[in-house]
Amino acid sequence: MSNLGFSFSLEQLWHVCSGQILLIIAGLALIVADIALIGREKSSRAGIVGWITIASLVAILLHIMFRQWNVTQTVIGGIFSADKFSMFVCAVVMISGILAALLSIGYLNNNKVNNSEYYILLIFAVYGTVAFIQSIDLLMMFITLEIMSLAVYALAAFLKECRQSQEAAFKYFMLGSFGSAFFLFGMALLYGFTGTITLSGIAKAIAVGGLFQQPAILIALAMIFAGLFFKMAMVPFHMWTPDVYEGSPSVVTGFMATAVKAAAFGVFIKVLFITFTPLLSTSGDTQFSVTANLAAMGAYWKPVLWWTALFTMFLGNLLAVSQKNVKRMLAYSSVAHAGYMALGILAANAEGRAGVLFYLFSYTLMNLGAFGVLYIIDGVERKAQTLDDYKGIGFKYPGLAFLMSLFLVAMAGLPPTAGFIAKFYVFSAAIKEGYMLLAALGILTSVFGLYYYLRVIWMMYMVDPEKDVVPGTITAPTLFAIIIAALGVMYLGVMPEGLANIASAAQASLSMVF
């Protein structure tokens, strides 16, 4: 027993945090490899480091899937946990990192920025994201959130000669600091009133004597919501999204829109349902029976999430309609998708949480696939990103146009794609809990989304070209990543049961690890 008041076991640490440990080792190995390759030509050096990154991420993903999936433990006095829910979201992040790394090999070549430190930043961004997801302690959540954010800020600014890239990173850093500050202040308030910062400890403390009705607790809840809403790109904390997504390197934008969003939604679900709902009371552990009182907190957070989801769906889709830049359009589309996923959280049932997990997995495939095609059509960053640039390319480059059309149709939520199934799950969960009006309004906003997605397809196939667009070089890793994403989008649209069952098992573990 240590003087910190808890036992420590290296074996237990490995069982719970082995994915994190392997990511740190991989990041350090990349630094060593980069130093060892100093004498090589820059593109060769970056390519070797890139392939080491891909191999490392694939190996760690397999480790998480096959070695950590059935682990249900906490470690270091309840700072990190391993459970099916965390492992599912971690797997989504790892897949995002793998696809981003594959796409990056071609992207860096096309833009002649073959700097190997890009991959080092990417793998540490993945590490921060995984650690963020596994945290069950608010202070560790804040620390790992900053680790993730710092790496992503640097990636957003990676095009050093591009003013838009520097501007995007600066805006992301400044506004991200405000989001982090809200989260930190909310955490401090909860600690001041409860004397603990672990999720389960706070739940037990505020459930006694109606403490959760105290204004300070509600203010803390609002601040934590605000901090996570920023990373989730929920209205009104979405302001950074269009400028940052447009200015950042296309592959980095795809990573931010998938991995960072998945982590934020995973942590939001964990914080909300463990700390501020009676979910723990269903675990069968008598020490958490008092948390049944937290059912009354729904009267405070559900109306907030109802209106936030509505405004996020409407504003995201309405503002996307007016965009002439495809990257900026996809940024507002990302805001709208956050609103749809919020429906599943608002439902506060098993179907809704499983639907959000399915949605995150599907969205990762279709979004990164779309950004992969976009960077190829673009050639060099910002060379061909407007709607006018897409006119007529369906006949000049039918393969690229078909793949882009597939990903856009999936994001629009049309069958037989994963996007349709994902929306069906979250809408049906909301309807099951009586949110008929909000579901109807959400379906209405999907019609707006259908317009701007199909407008790009119409430009590609129905309008004569005005510019001579020359795509960039299509490398084998990029082609492989896009084809894998396309096959995944189609497979999950036709046979979603397997992933849906895994997502259902993952959400069921939320109450079992504590």
- The per-residue pLDDT for range 336-382, each reduced to its tens digit, is 999 999 999 999 999 999 999 999 999 999 999 999 999 999 888 77
Q: Determine whether 170 is exposed, middle or buried from the number of CB atoms within 10 Å of its CB (0-12, 13-18, 19+).
A: middle
* Cα angle value 370/340/212 (rounded, 5°): 135
Q: Specify the 3-state DSSP secondary structure of 473.
A: coil
How large a percentage of the chain has pLDDT more than 70? 98
Q: Which residues of 445-463 are buried (b: 16+ CB within 10 A; e: fewer)?
A: bbebbbebbebbbebbbee
Place of tokens 């700072």: 79
Which pLDDT belongs to residue 77? 76
Rounded Cα gap, residues 130 and 133, in angstroms: 5
Contact call for residues 481 and 102 (beta carbons, < 8 A): yes
Rounded Cα gap, residues 236 and 239, in angstroms: 7
Residues of the chain with pLDDT under 70: 1-8, 513-514
For the chain, what is the mean pLDDT?
91
- Return all residues near 420 (Cβ < 8 A) that are at least 6 apart: 410, 413, 414, 493
Rounded Cα gap, residues 29 and 34, in angstroms: 8
Rounded Cα gap, residues 170 and 119, in angstroms: 21
Contact call for residues 92 and 492 (beta carbons, < 8 A): no
Number of neighbours of residue 498 by Cβ within 10 angstroms: 10
Measured over the CA atoms of residue 422, residue 428, residue 431 and residue 433, the dihedral's sign is negative
| Phi, psi for 80 (deg, rounded to 5) | -120, 150
Number of neighbours of residue 34 by Cβ within 10 angstroms: 19
Rounded Cα gap, residues 30 and 28, in angstroms: 5
* Cα angle value 158/162/166 (rounded, 5°): 60
Place of tokens 């599912």: 88
Written as one letter, the residue type at 114 is: N
Q: Which residues pair with 80 in a beta bridge?
A: 75, 135
Rounded Cα gap, residues 514 and 503, in angstroms: 20
- Per-residue three-class SS string for 319-340: HHHCCCEHHHHHHHHHHHHHHH
Place of tokens 């982090």: 180
Q: Which residues pair with 75 in a beta bridge?
A: 80
Which pLDDT belongs to residue 26? 95
Query: pTM for the whole thing?
Result: 0.94
Instruction: Please state the length of the chain.
Output: 514
Number of neighbours of residue 102 by Cβ within 10 angstroms: 29
* Cα angle value 403/407/410 (rounded, 5°): 140
Contact call for residues 200 and 136 (beta carbons, < 8 A): yes
Place of tokens 């146009």: 401
Q: Which DSSP state fits 137?
A: B
Rg (CA), the chain: 22
Which pLDDT belongs to residue 1? 35
Nearest to 225 by CA among 263, 272, 258: 272
Q: What is the H or E stretch that residue 444 is in?
A: helix 436-462
Q: At what angle do helices 117-134 and 84-110 cross, to 10 degrees?
A: 160
User: Which structure tokens are listed for 306?
Assistant: 């109802």
Nearest to 314 by CA among 368, 227, 236, 367: 236
Which pLDDT belongs to residue 3? 42
Which pLDDT belongs to residue 111? 87
User: Which structure tokens are listed for 413?
Assistant: 């939520």
